[in-house]
Amino acid sequence: MEDRTIHEFEFTLINEFFTELERQGPGSPEETIRALSFIDNLSDKTKIADLGCGTGFQTMVLAQNTKATITALDLYAGSIDKLNATAKKLGLQNRVKGIVGSMNDLPFQNNEFDIIWSEGAIANIGFEKGLNYWKKFLKKDGYVAVTYESWFTDERPTEIEKWWMDAVPEIGTIAHNVSIMQKTGYIPAAVFTLPESCWIDNYFTPQKARQEEFLKKHAGNKTVENMIAFLRHEADLYSKYKQYYGYVFYIGKRI
């Protein structure tokens, strides 16, 4: 299992598994709100794009803690259906709209947004590529806020280094990623690591019951068995090597 990445499993199976979970990656409402606290001039005129939004857990946190209008984008239609249903249920449908699309080919105007947000998704396009490409959709002095897998140390054990290099080939240290942010035209406004609870309590633990249920539903399906083995291996690696890596919030202001 060590040689595979989550992207090698069928797109539909990955999405079927994760859309039933509250979160599709590590994070928490508290950390989303903390990141938001570093952004100036929020008002009812603020426009936010939430890219790779999944089912929109953080989208709703953004909507409930600002007066902004939010466009949330994800590749998977099932996630967007769920996001729009949640927005309606919370009475946020006038300010929150989910659309199906690719963060690699955004359907937006140049200088359209005050903030581009992306939790746990920029690795799908690449940190440098994402920051570079997304910048044109931001107004001058607009902000980008992303969480991204990062090394906490310069040296790490071979097992975890290989696993992450397979999953996110350009994974770097925090200092390296800050230098990329500066190189791509942003002033770093804040950088902080997500606590362990974002991984364990909010990501790995809620998966356990879902994994059992998914294996039963797809009994005998080797792809599903391999996918669940991969997810369990990912959790085991985190408990073994969490001092070496994690998600980091990077917030930058467009120059």
Asked if residue 232 lies in contact with residue 116, where contact means CB atoms within 8 angstroms, the answer is no
Domain-embedded: residue 91:
yes
Chain segment 66-125, per-residue pLDDT in tens: 999 999 999 999 999 999 999 999 999 999 999 999 999 999 999 999 999 999 999 999
The 10s digit of each residue's pLDDT in 145-192 is 999 999 999 999 999 999 999 999 999 999 999 999 999 999 999 999
What is residue 1's predicted lDDT score, i.e. its pLDDT? Answer: 39
14 within a domain of the structure (yes/no): no
Is 127 inside any structural domain?
yes
With both helix axes pointing from N to C terminus, report the angle between 11-18 and 205-217 in degrees, rounded to the nearest 10: 120
CA 29/CA 27 separation, integer angstroms:
7
The Cα 185–Cα 95 span in angstroms is 29
Residue 9 has pLDDT above 90, yes or no: no
| Within-domain flag for 75 | yes
Q: For the stretch 35-68, what's the b/e string if a residue is b when 16 or more beta carbons lie within 10 angstroms of its beta carbon?
A: bbebbeebeeebbbbbbbbbbbbbbbbbbeebeb
Does any domain span residue 131?
yes
* Short-list 82, 102, 97, 91, CA closest to 64: 91
Domain hosting residue 175, numbered range: 24-195+249-254
Amino acid at 244: Y
Using the predicted structure, report yes or no on whether residue 6 has a pLDDT greater than 80. Answer: no
Which CATH number do you get for residue 132?
3.40.50.150
Instruction: Give SS3 for 118.
Output: strand
Average pLDDT on 51-80 reads 97
**183-239 residue pLDDT tens:** 999 999 999 999 999 999 999 999 999 999 999 999 999 999 999 999 999 999 999
* Burial of 161 (C-beta count, 10 Å sphere; 0-12/13-18/19+): middle
Mean pLDDT of the residues in the chain: 95
Domain count along the chain: 1
